[in-house]
């Protein structure tokens, strides 16, 4: 589960390790290495690592069961006669 780090873009600054509110990364991060996601199930999907990464190297993977369930709005309103 999230976050996913692009190893090509990451410069190993460790900012994501520092700021993660749930400490999902291995806290013993060695400088200039790609951080290790050690506790993916503790991710809150707050997006802090994505927003603050200086190289935009972090992405969040959304768990399959975190579905936003929807219905087609036009069909919904058609039923109501709008």
Contact footprint for other proteins (CB under 8 A)? 18-23, 26-28, 38-39, 41-48, 50-52, 60, 62-63, 65-74, 76-82
Phi and psi at residue 80, in whole multiples of 5°? -80, -5
CB of 20 to other proteins, least distance (A): 7
Other Cβ atoms closer than 10 A to 14: 18
For other proteins, the closer of residues 32 and 78 by Cβ is: 78
Q: How far is the CB of 25 from other proteins (least distance, A)?
A: 10
d(CA 15, CA 12): 8
């Amino acid at each position: 589960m999230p976050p996913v780090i692009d190893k090509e873009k990451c410069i190993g600054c460790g900012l994501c390790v520092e700021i993660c509110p749930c400490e999902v990364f291995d806290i013993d991060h060695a400088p200039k290495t790609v951080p290790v996601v050690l506790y993916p199930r503790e991710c809150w999907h707050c997006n802090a690592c994505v927003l603050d990464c200086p190289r935009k190297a972090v992405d969040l993977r959304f768990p399959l069961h975190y579905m936003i369930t929807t219905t087609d709005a036009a069909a919904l309103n058609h039923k109501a006669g709008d």
